[in-house]
Amino acid sequence: MLNVEHLSVSFVTRMGVTQAVDDVSFSVRAGEITAIIGESGSGKSVACYSLLGLVPQPPGRIDGGRALFNGRDLLKLPERELRKVRGRDIAMIFQDPMTCLNPYMTIGKQLVEPLRYHRKVSRKAARQRAMELLDEVGIREPDKTFHNYPHEFSGGMRQRVMIAMALINEPRLLIADEPTTALDVTIQAQILQLLARLQKKRDIGIVLISHDLAVVADIADSIIVMQEGRVVERGDATAIFRAATHPYTHKLLAAIPRGSKPPRPASGEALLEVRNLCTQFGRGRHAVKAVDNVSFTIQRGETLGLVGESGSGKSTIGRSLLRLVEPDSGQVLFDGQDITALAPEALKRMRRRMQIIFQDPFASLNPRMTVFETLSEPLLLHGVADRGSVAGQVLSLMDAVGLARGFARKYPHEFSGGQRQRIAIGRALATRPEFIVADEPVSALDVTIQAQILELMGALGREYGLTMLFITHDLAVVRQLADRIVVLRRGAIVEQATTAELLTAPQDGYTRALLAATPGRGLRQTP
């Protein structure tokens, strides 16, 4: 149905010419889901956007190639003709449903727009059709929600609206660009199922763009792997999972966490004990209980995984342990001392022993301080080093987290996400703490980088004898790192067990749902 041949796209900027898509060919068959996999900057999105003329030119430039869709070359079509294809024969869904709907227009108006524009359908008929579709994608009471604005929907619901909007003209091809990346895992699973169901029913072609092999594993028919603007591997989904040929594909497959950490003997000594922690935000009528009577213990040397979806209160708990958030009630005992009751001086001394690593490597480093300044700050503050020895210590810290020494006087914006996260880990380790809170440390990173950082954290944990609280929304991420897992929902603990137990025999219904929603389950079981 769609045949892309030798497509090349580049971006021309003041800095020079960047080849974003380099001689890419692929085809999409009707009635199949074709997944394009690649990390950020691999050109996967640009390749698809350029087909529909959605890459702004300049700076974009299509250097060559053909894209035959039903016998016509999309790249040669004049803008008027291309517009008729766009939204009628080929529709799109984008990554972030929060920003992709016009906040100033009711969803009903936005829904009927493609239908009214392309097919000149009457207002009434368009409305009728829109309601049917809303119902089909699982929006309840379409006649009421028709007049609602996007902000009145949750992320998952907005993505359903986006899907309805894309399908309203019954297109032959749907391009979905990371449609579930911004969503929680359980919602992600629902959306993927919905897409697969709609695809079967209509027998249309879908191009599914994703950075995560696991996400597409369960629904893709064929897979194309892209790296640095080129296609490095293509083929049947089952064939690729069974016998990938390109080393990069192997790397991607290896980055999918599987198995679980072997259970370790309990040390019997509790380093950290959380008792009846409660935190609420806001007051009176608008008060929201972020953390609701949570208690757990972490043994010395243990890594505890704290798993929950957005809004489950997991980050608030992590911050409460370090008193970055003041809890309303409850105790946090660290080595026998109640953190919540410490005086400022004692708290400062305690901070040397417990540190935190944050999610966003772009926001967690002061943009106006060099690596050296960032790493030397805690060393000097806590008297771990003096002015004479600090340089040597900073450099050995950089060695430990795998940063080249030559980077010492560079600034954060000169680094990639993974490198920044290494700097942040170095800062947290500078004072040789006993306990570290890792708050989603890899969720902003590409999968192969994720695997590297997780490996680094595991190694450093063993080397430094660290006790760790690893906070994440993704059960898969902690399975190799955590000894035990606590599952959190709406501020309360629903289950805690050793990792192996939790993965094989979950007790709570929510845990089961989380496990079932984890993408690429089939992949993990095969060794």
Partner 1 sequence: MWRFITFRLLQAIPVILAVVTVTFFLIRMAPGGPFDGEKAVIPEVRAALEAQYQLDKPLVEQYTAYLGDLLSGDLGPSFKYPGRSVNELIAAGLPVTAELGLYALLVAVVIGGLAGVIAALRPNTAQDYLPMSVAMLGICMPSFLLGPILLLVFGIYLDWLPVSGWGDIPGDKLLPAITLGSTYAAYVARLSRAGMLEVLHQDYIRTARAKGLPEWQVVTRHALRGGLIPVVAFLGPAFAGLLSGSFVVETIFQIPGLGRFYVQAAFNRDYTMILGTTVFLSTLIVVFNLLSDSLAAWMNPRLRAQYASR
Partner 2 sequence: MDFSEHPVLEAPEGRSLWDDAWQRLRRNRLAVFGLAVLGLFVLLALLTPWIAPYGYAEQNLDLGASPPSLQHWLGTDTFGRDLLTQILYGGRISLAVGFIATAVALCIGVLWGAIAGYVGGRVDAVMMRLVDILYALPFMIFIVLLMVVFGRNLLLLFLAIGAVEWLTMARIMRAQVQSLKQQEFVEAAMSLGLSPFTIIRRHLIPNALGPVIVYTTLTIPGVMLLEAFLSFLGLGVQPPQTSWGLLISYGAESMEEYPWLLLFPGLALTLTLFSLNFLGDGLRDALDVRGAGD
Residues within window 421-480 making contact with partner 2, judged by CB under 8 A: 424, 427, 431
d(CA 52, CA 134): 26
CB 358 → partner 2: shortest distance, Å?
Answer: 4
Assign residue 141 a region: left if phi > 0, alpha if psi is -120 to 50, beta otherwise?
left
Residue 117 interacting partner from partner 2, partner 1, none (CB closer than 5 to 8 Å by kind): partner 1
CB 50 → partner 1: shortest distance, Å?
Answer: 13
Residue 101 interacting partner from partner 2, partner 1, none (CB closer than 5 to 8 Å by kind): partner 1
Q: How far apart are the first and last CA of the chain?
A: 36
The alpha-helical segments, DSSP class H, found in 278-370 are 314-321, 344-351
Sheet holding 467-472, edge to edge: 354-357, 435-439, 467-472, 303-307, 484-489, 492-498
Contacts 24+ apart (CB under 8 A), 188-194: 188/215, 188/517, 188/519, 189/516, 189/517, 189/519, 190/138, 190/156, 191/156, 191/159, 191/160, 191/163, 192/218, 192/219, 192/519, 194/137, 194/138, 194/160, 194/163
For partner 2, the closer of residues 258 and 323 by Cβ is 323
The single residue among 38, 43, 60, 87 that binds partner 1, judged by CB under 8 A, is 87
* By the rule CB under 8 A, 348 interacts with partner 2: yes
The single residue among 1, 68, 347, 500 that binds partner 2, judged by CB under 8 A, is 347
For partner 2, the closer of residues 251 and 382 by Cβ is 382
For partner 2, the closer of residues 147 and 405 by Cβ is 405
- Region binding partner 1 by CB under 8 A among candidate stretches 81-89, 428-436, 471-479, 494-502: 81-89
CB contact at 8 A, 408 and 372: yes
Minimal CA–CA distance to 450: which of 426, 481, 429, 408?
Answer: 481
CB 96 → partner 1: shortest distance, Å?
Answer: 6
d(CA 16, CA 422): 29
For partner 2, the closer of residues 320 and 499 by Cβ is 320
Coil, strand or helix: which one is 439? Answer: strand
- Determine the size of the site formed for partner 2 (CB under 8 A): 48
Residue 30 interacting partner from partner 1, partner 2, none (CB closer than 5 to 8 Å by kind): none
The single residue among 1, 5, 68, 117 that binds partner 1, judged by CB under 8 A, is 117
Residues within window 273-332 making contact with partner 2, judged by CB under 8 A: 319, 322, 324
CB 104 → partner 1: shortest distance, Å?
Answer: 5
The single residue among 102, 245, 310, 507 that binds partner 1, judged by CB under 8 A, is 102
CB contact at 8 A, 172 and 204: yes
For partner 2, the closer of residues 3 and 370 by Cβ is 370
CB 360 → partner 2: shortest distance, Å?
Answer: 6
Neighbours of 338 (CB within 10 A): 13
Q: Which residues pair with 73 in a beta bridge?
A: 68
* By the rule CB under 8 A, 63 interacts with partner 1: no
The single residue among 149, 362, 411, 464 that binds partner 1, judged by CB under 8 A, is 149
Q: Which residues pair with 436 in a beta bridge?
A: 355, 468
How far is CA 376 from each of CA 59, 360, 408, rounded to the nearest angstrom? 41, 21, 11
* By the rule CB under 8 A, 103 interacts with partner 2: no
CB contact at 8 A, 469 and 461: no
> What's the CA angle centered on 103, arms 311 and 178, to 5 degrees?
60
Q: CA neighbours within 13 Å on the CB side: how many for 414?
A: 10
The single residue among 5, 96, 135, 360 that binds partner 1, judged by CB under 8 A, is 96
* By the rule CB under 8 A, 76 interacts with partner 2: no
- Region binding partner 1 by CB under 8 A among candidate stretches 80-88, 256-264, 301-309, 363-371: 80-88
> What's the CA angle centered on 416, arms 49 and 426, to 5 degrees?
150
* By the rule CB under 8 A, 52 interacts with partner 1: yes
The single residue among 365, 451, 466, 471 that binds partner 2, judged by CB under 8 A, is 365
Binding mask 8-47 for partner 1 (x = CB under 8 A): ----------------------------------------
> What's the CA angle centered on 422, arms 419 and 426, to 5 degrees?
145
* By the rule CB under 8 A, 395 interacts with partner 2: yes
CB 446 → partner 1: shortest distance, Å?
Answer: 21
d(CA 422, CA 252): 21
For partner 1, the closer of residues 140 and 285 by Cβ is 285
The single residue among 96, 136, 218, 373 that binds partner 2, judged by CB under 8 A, is 373
d(CA 225, CA 210): 10
Coil, strand or helix: which one is 177? Answer: strand
CB 343 → partner 2: shortest distance, Å?
Answer: 13
Residue 52 interacting partner from partner 2, partner 1, none (CB closer than 5 to 8 Å by kind): partner 1
* By the rule CB under 8 A, 113 interacts with partner 1: yes
The single residue among 80, 242, 286, 368 that binds partner 2, judged by CB under 8 A, is 368
Output the 3-class SS for 408-425: CCCCHHHCCHHHHHHHHH
Instruction: Summarize as ranges the residues that interact with partner 2 (CB under 8 A).
Output: 319, 322, 324, 347-349, 351-352, 354-356, 358-360, 363-373, 376-378, 380-382, 387, 390-392, 395, 405-411, 413-414, 424, 427, 431
Instruction: Summarize as ranges the residues that interact with partner 1 (CB under 8 A).
Output: 52, 54, 83-88, 91-92, 94, 96, 99-105, 113-114, 117-118, 149, 151-152, 162, 165
